[in-house]
Amino acid sequence: MWRGFSVLFLCAPLAWGESLAKGHVFFQTNNVVVERTAVQSFSLPVAPMRGYTVRGTALVRAENVSAKPNPWNGIKFMLIIETPERKSWPQAPLDVGTFDWKRAGFTARIPTNATAVTLCLGLEQVSGKVWFDAVRIVAEKPPVTETIAPVAGPMFKGHSLSRLRGAMVGPRIDEDGLRVLGRDWNANLIRWQLIRHGRGDMEDYDQWLDGELQRLDAVLPLCEKYGLLVAVDLHSPPGGKRTVSGYVGSDDRLFTDRAMQDKFVEVWRRIAARYKNARAIWGYDLANEPVEDFVEEGCDDWRGLAERAARAIREIDPSRAIICEAPPWGAPESLAEFAPINVSNVIYSVHMYVPGEFTHQGVHKPATEPVYYPGTIRGKKWDRAALEKTLQPVLDFQKRYNVHIYIGEFSAIRWAPGDSARQYLADCIDIFESHGWDWSYHAFREWDGWSVEHGPDRKDRNRSATPTERETLLRSWFARNEKP
């Protein structure tokens, strides 16, 4: 049920080359009430929004909103952004139940090739009642218009080997696991997670971090012993919240609380000071899959915060590789609108889980039907050519700026039907190799759903008595490795 809302557009046409001021209002509305499952949609003026970072804010209150059947359901204050290739759904994180008026918001980049932008207000797959007031979509940051020159000289990789090929590992891995990966399989890289599960509060963050760094201290001599370089991944920075996978992510207060941003920079000062002379460490991965749901006024966006942290590292460690992922989620398309940070010896990283309907089938919700690769997913053919197209923004970024690319994560769930998982991994690796990218598979001796040592039967939690085809594939590539 809807009643009592007014709509106002305040978006004048632009002259050629003219830029909108920060705070320019693309859309606003007041007095919106929704009962039961219903969503009201407003089409926004896409042409003047292209390339901009926009901020959405609203006052919201709720009454008896029922539990969400899925994490993405519930109260909707959301944009649907469409391009010829894909859709995205940036939205404000909102609770269920009953709460009084509170401010909600999100931040989103509108791609330069956006074809439609739609604002959605309402309730999705839940019951109850919600009120919206003072809804505004405004310009926060203009398109990047500065010309950033390519990095001069030979492309910096941070190592002298022909390629780094390895895996992300679980933080509880023991020496036997490192021996198998490094000596028996001949991997030469691990991505080491500083990962926190369950809690996102800050009271004992330093204590947690100290414990994780002590664990890393103990692992580094073993990495040297078995010929493994290490990418140190701050999987759980200060200020993040619990993700659907259970770990604390790179989001939430990391972009809404200046104190959390200062803490983030301080954490990297500590890590750099601790490991500036560590021979096994290849690079510092600033934050895992950053997500700028909402960048509060007075806070840095990810590019600004990453540059602050990288400069702090450079004051201590002048030359070791710094690894930077782009928002959202470090996905391949994230580099299409991203600009390099102004710090030396930076490597750019993406995570490859596209199409997610295939790679993550049965992970976060029960699978209804098996999804095959190659195959047709939501009406689109997915094969190696489609993967190449998905990764094209990464290749374009590499060539445009003369920077090295590291695929920090890629995978396919082990119970994907038939030979699908092996074929997907094979096509991904062929593409990575054709462009000279370093890579680490997700994951080795972490959760068995991603394990190449386990077979396709989801119920069988034991390692396979004989090597799986996925294990054989990875080992065939690791066999080509040189050791540091």
Give the per-residue SS3 of 390-441. Answer: HCHHHHHHHHHHCCCEEEEEECCCCCCCCCHHHHHHHHHHHHHHHCCCEEEE
The pLDDT score that the predictor gives to residue 297 is 87
Model pLDDT, residue 417: 98
Displacement of CA 265 from its chain's centroid (Å): 19
Distance, in Å, from the CA atom of 288 to the CA atom of 153, rounded to the nearest integer, reads 28
Instruction: Give the residues across from 39 on adjacent strands.
Output: 122
pTM, full prediction: 0.89
* Co-location of 291 and 436 in the same domain: yes
Question: What does the alpha-carbon distance between residue 462 and residue 436 come to, in Å, rounded to a whole number?
Answer: 35
**For residue 200, what pLDDT band results from cuts at 50, 70 and 90?**
low
**461 within domain boundaries:** yes
Averaged pLDDT for residues 389-404: 97
Per-residue confidence band for 37, with pLDDT thresholds at 50, 70 and 90: low
Q: Would 154 be classed as within a structural domain?
A: no
Asked if residue 239 and residue 103 are part of one domain, the reply reads no
Instruction: Please indicate, yes or no, whether residues 111 and 202 belong to a single structural domain of this protein.
Output: no
Residue type, 231: A
pLDDT in tens, 178-199: 999 999 999 999 999 999 987 7
The angle at the Cα of 200, spanning 194 to 204, to the nearest 5 degrees, equals: 75
Scanning the structure block, which residue is given the tokens 């969503």?
39
171 with 73, same domain: the answer is: no
Type of residue numbered 350: V
- At residue 36 the predicted structure's pLDDT band, cuts being 50, 70 and 90, is low
**Banded pLDDT at 15 (limits 50, 70, 90):** very low
What is the number of structural domains in the chain? 2
Domain containing 119 equals 6-141
The per-residue pLDDT of the chain, averaged, comes to 91
Q: Residue 6 pLDDT more than 50? A: no
Q: Do 170 and 135 share a structural domain?
A: no
Q: Are residues 259 and 332 in the same domain?
A: yes
Distance in Å from the first CA to the final CA of the chain: 65
pLDDT the model gives residue 21: 64
Closest CA to 285 of 301, 299, 271, 304: 271
Compute CA 210 distance to the chain's CA centroid, rounded to the nearest angstrom: 25
What values do phi and psi take at 377, rounded to 5?
-125, 120
Mean pLDDT for 42-65 is 92
Residue tagged 């000596």 (tokens): 183
Residue 173 falls within a domain, yes or no? yes
Please check whether residue 152 lies inside any domain of the structure.
no
Q: What is the CATH number of the domain that holds 65?
A: 2.60.120.260
Query: Same structural domain for residues 36 and 183?
Result: no
Query: Do 133 and 187 lie in a common domain?
Result: no
pLDDT tens for 264-280 read 999 999 999 999 999 99
| Average pLDDT score over residue span 368-381 | 95
User: How far apart are alpha carbons 353 and 355 in whole angstroms?
Assistant: 6
Looking at the predicted structure, is the pLDDT value of residue 324 above 60?
A: yes
Q: What is the mean pLDDT of residues 31-43?
A: 80
At 19, the pLDDT band (50, 70, 90 cuts) reads low
Domain membership flag for residue 146: no
Same domain, 80 and 180: no
